[in-house]
Structures are given as structure tokens and as C-alpha cells.
Amino acid sequence: YKPRNSKNLQNILTWEIPSQAYEPAEYHIYRDKNLTQLAGKVFNHEKLQFIDSHLEARETYNYYVISVDKIGIVSAPATVTIK
């Protein structure tokens, strides 16, 4: 078995707690603008960081991060593009 990508490529997203009326309980990270391809979840008691290691060289990656509070209120997505 030979991996397709011999380098250990990673995209690392970090953020701070947003200043809004409610405190998020968790964050959902998606790979598509329709918010259907969930890449991961980060809970508020964890380090606010998402590491994506499933990458190919010379590709552009879009991420959409939303916050969700304890009763299910969802924020608008924050968009991050990494080239």
C-alpha cells in the first residue's frame, strides 16, 4: 500500500468564541455550502480547533463553520477558503 499523498498535509482551523447573545455548545464544520458534508464537530469545552488531514496537494478547500447553542439555535456559517 502506497498512500496517494506522501506529505502529511493538514489544514488547521482555529477560532474564538463569537460575541453573540448566546454561548455556543458546539461547532459544526462542513465542506460544502449546503451544509450536508459534515467534516467534524468541536464542543465548547474542547480546544477550538479543527484539523483536516484528508487533503490532496494543490487543491482548494472550503469550510463552513456554524455554532449551535444548547437549545439548537444555529448561527449563519463562517466561510474559510484555503488554497
> What is the rounded average pLDDT of the residues 50-64?
92
Predicted confidence at residue 8, as pLDDT, reads 76
Tell which residue, 52, 63, 60, has the closest CA to residue 83: 60
Buried b / exposed e over 31-58, threshold 16 CB at 10 Å, is: beeeeeeebeebeeeeeeebebeeeeee
Cα torsion 14, 74, 42, 16: sign: positive
* pLDDT tens, position by position, 12-36: 999 988 776 678 999 999 999 999 9
